[in-house]
Structure 1
Amino acid sequence: MSQVPLIVTTDWLVERLDDPKLRLIDATTFLKRPDDGGYYDVWSGEDAYKEGHIPGAVFADLLNDLSDPDSEFAFTVPSRERFTSKMSELGVGDNDTYVVVYDSGLAEAGASVVASDWASRLAWQLQYEGLDEVAVLDGGFQKWQEEGRPVSTDPGSYPKANFTGERRPELLATKEDVKNAMNDDNVVLVNSLTKADFNGETDTYERSGHIPGSVNVFFGDHSDPESKELHDDNKLREAFEKSGALDPDKKVITYCGSGIAATWNALILNKLGQNNVAMYDGSMTEWAADKSLPLDTAEKDK
């Protein structure tokens, strides 16, 4: 059991910036929906990291280093060897250290939706590969800057580590798992995208709509756009209660477009005490590409 909170505040972090056990990681990635529709434009946040980051932080490139380069889908989980090798280079893996991950705090470039979903993606990957001591910074780099906290352009570095731990397959859901879940009352499928995406009103993916039987809990509703802070647990709980996702006797599978936003919902569910949560890595990108698989829209749900 981790001794580090799942989500930490800027006050919590600033008190520990000089802690030799801290491994601080900037996982900033940028995503923007094209004006003419279609799949998102995505790019690495490495240049933004070089322009300024929390002092001591190292940069982890989710797009280019920590995804499977041979997959036809973006952000597919890489081989364990690829992931642990990169993490070891960044200094992550020693049993006596802990990790805090942050990102720009903006769910979409140019948008006002606040969610640390890129940070939660890396945190989820670390947990999937067996690391316990990992947290996500609430409000991310945007909140850090707005509070006038220190910012550095000096690249961070940590001594190379040896990543240990065992992969936790129960945290990952496959396409087959989701197919089985559609007819299983003991599994709650949570779509983490916008209501418009869920209703089939957008053309982001090869086909529009949602996986039959899934419920919509938009990942971007969990934080206050002004303060950049997460809502309190009571309000967070309200977002999930109607879906049945907080039932301790049920398993939850979260999904989104490419397994990013779904990790933010999974993290919030964990924070609220639901620990039986898996994330569908392929999400809508994989599901919609397989024309043999069903999709529902708002009309079909009526």
Structure 2
Amino acid sequence: MSQPTALITTEQVAAILADPDLRLYDCTTYNEPVPPGSDVPYRAVPGDKTFAAGHIPGADYLDLQGEFSDASAQQFFTMPDVAQLEAAFGRHGADASKTIVLYSIGTMMWSTRFWWMLRSLGVVARVLDGGFDKWKDEGRPVETGAPKGYPATTFKASPRAGLFVDKDFVKERIGDPATVTVNALGPQFHRGLEPSRYGRPGRVPGSVNVSAATLVNADKTLTTLADAEAKFAAAGVTRDKNVILYCGGGISATIDLLMLTQLGYDKLTLYDASMGEWARDPSLPIETD
């Protein structure tokens, strides 16, 4: 199922700011560095301080690691169970009847991650193209202070199977001609040419590389569909194949997923734990140039 309306422009958001059914969410998280030898690749820090310093008027804040991830998992940002997500989204006033718009600061990957999560729950959301950076650069109104929130709702999910998969699913499809596995990390990490903060350098064997960074313009908007189509085609990603996306922690790969969805690809899934799990598990094969 393609979703040609997954993106929304700053102009479109500005035009609906007064809509009582609008649910606008800042999804920003920051990955801060940790000392060498640490057990974790980074420290996940919520973007509540930058939200308080400035946000789109009326927006609420969603803490991905704090409320919308499995706290018992070893990896950051692991998809939690449906009940946890229903409760969390309900607390923030979201439900399928609302116009849900997601944005983030610095990179769109935090908002695209929430978009993919909501898609897996059967709920349509839209991502602000260019995020808060573009909104500010255009001189649009900005509000400060803590989130006021929205009235709570009863959020009912209609889960869609297969949008998130685990390491066994990925491993079983290595060498499968009907599947193409795509790494959204940068080419130097895909090729294993630089040390990786996730563990062993390299990639899932046989995977191809379409870096999320190559799908983003200088103004932080996403590239054109024609450019994205060409990049995926050059890597051998075609509509007849099952496509598995991964990255470091299941975040930046959702930029690829949004672009593929916009292009009409429908056999898409995300390896949630990505290299944060794969590179640290010596039982899993890894490939380098």
TM-score by length of 1: 0.89
**Does residue 190 of structure 1 match 2:182?**
yes
Q: Could you tell me which of 181, 201, 219 is aligned with 1:208?
A: 201
Query: Secondary structure of 1:43's partner?
Result: strand
Where do 1:127-276 residues align within 5 Å? 127-131=119-123, 133-154=124-145, 155-200=147-192, 201-225=194-218, 227-245=219-237, 247-276=238-267
Instruction: Show the counterpart of 1:85.
Output: 87
Cα distance 1:204–1:100, how it changes in 2: closer, same or farther (>3 A)?
same
CA distance in structure 2 between the aligned counterparts of 1:162 and 1:42, rounded to whole angstroms:
28
Instruction: Show the counterpart of 1:119.
Output: 111
Instruction: Show the counterpart of 2:25.
Output: 25
Query: Secondary structure of 1:289's partner?
Result: coil
Q: Is the 8 A contact 2:245 2:271 kept in 1?
A: yes
AA paired with 2:214?
Answer: D
**Does residue 55 of structure 1 match 2:57?**
yes
CA distance in structure 1 between the aligned counterparts of 2:64 and 2:48, rounded to whole angstroms:
10
Q: Is the 8 A contact 2:199 2:280 kept in 1?
A: yes
CA distance in structure 1 between the aligned counterparts of 2:190 and 2:87, rounded to whole angstroms:
37
Query: Secondary structure of 1:63's partner?
Result: helix
CA distance in structure 1 between the aligned counterparts of 2:272 and 2:220, rounded to whole angstroms:
27
Cα distance 1:34–1:198, how it changes in 2: closer, same or farther (>3 A)?
farther
CA distance in structure 2 between the aligned counterparts of 1:242 and 1:296, rounded to whole angstroms:
20
Q: CA deviation at 1:170?
A: 1.5
Q: Is the 8 A contact 1:190 1:252 kept in 2?
A: yes
Instruction: Show the counterpart of 2:104.
Output: 103
CA distance in structure 2 between the aligned counterparts of 1:9 and 1:161, rounded to whole angstroms:
26
Q: Is the 8 A contact 1:188 1:243 kept in 2?
A: no
CA distance in structure 2 between the aligned counterparts of 1:219 and 1:203, rounded to whole angstroms:
17
Q: Is the 8 A contact 2:3 2:264 kept in 1?
A: no
Aligned Cα root-mean-square deviation (Å): 1.8
Percent identity for Structure 1 against Structure 2? 38
Query: Secondary structure of 1:121's partner?
Result: helix
Q: Is the 8 A contact 2:122 2:158 kept in 1?
A: yes
AA paired with 1:58?
Answer: D
AA paired with 2:17?
Answer: L
Q: Deviations over 1:229-267 (max 9, x none)?
A: 22221111111112222x221110100011001111111
Q: CA deviation at 1:224?
A: 1.5
Cα distance 1:3–1:184, how it changes in 2: closer, same or farther (>3 A)?
closer
Number of aligned residue pairs: give it.
Answer: 285
Q: Deviations over 1:203-238 (max 9, x none)?
A: 21121100001001110111221x332222111111
TM-score by length of 2: 0.93
CA distance in structure 2 between the aligned counterparts of 1:188 and 1:3, rounded to whole angstroms:
21
Query: Secondary structure of 2:67's partner?
Result: coil
Query: Secondary structure of 1:157's partner?
Result: coil
Query: Secondary structure of 1:189's partner?
Result: strand
Further displaced range: 161-170 or 289-298 = 161-170
Runs of 5+ consecutive residues of structure 1 not aligned to the other structure: 107-114
CA distance in structure 2 between the aligned counterparts of 1:254 and 1:33, rounded to whole angstroms:
24
CA distance in structure 2 between the aligned counterparts of 1:235 and 1:248, rounded to whole angstroms:
16
Further displaced range: 214-223 or 27-36 = 27-36
CA distance in structure 2 between the aligned counterparts of 1:50 and 1:20, rounded to whole angstroms:
22
Query: Secondary structure of 1:125's partner?
Result: helix
